[in-house]
Amino acid sequence: MESVNSLIPDDAQKTLIFFVNGKKVIEENPDPEWTLLFYLRKKLLLTGTKYGCGEGGCGACTVMISQYSKIKDSIKYPLYM
Ligand code: FES
């Protein structure tokens, strides 16, 4: 089976920078096979988000994503990507 890593171009950005609960997180060479749920629980030790049904039906794994605008001094959410 082909690894997900082999599908990423060599010149692709290898660093993720984002904020979790207002704290800056810099992740070098993130593993594309990790889910956000796994990352939050295992890497950041934020265990409030749970694995429930695993099918999108219960909402236990829900994560709120928002964007802060310094110019407007406001938070935009939910952020649809
Ligand atoms: S685990 Fe149930 S919706 Fe994600």
Mutate to test the pocket of ligand 1, among 41, 47, 50, 58 (most ligand atoms within 8 A of CB): 58
Cβ neighbours for 58, distance < 8 A, ≥ 6 positions apart: 52
Helices (H), 17-58: 36-38
- Whether 10 is in a domain gets the answer yes
pTM of the full structure: 0.71
Tokens of 15: 């660093």
Q: How confident is the model at residue 3, as a pLDDT?
A: 75
**61 CA from centroid of ligand 1 (Å):** 5
Residue matched to tokens 């310094």: 70
- Whether 30 is in a domain gets the answer yes
Protein residue with least CA distance to atom 3, ligand 1 = 56
- Whether 81 is in a domain gets the answer no
pLDDT digits (tens, 9 = 90+) for 50-78: 999 999 999 999 998 888 788 999 888 77
Residues in the ligand 1 pocket, defined by CB under 6 Å: 51-54, 56-61
- Whether 36 is in a domain gets the answer yes
Mean pLDDT of 2-22: 79
Looking up residue 52, the CATH number of its domain turns out to be 3.10.20.30
**Domains contained in the chain, number:** 1
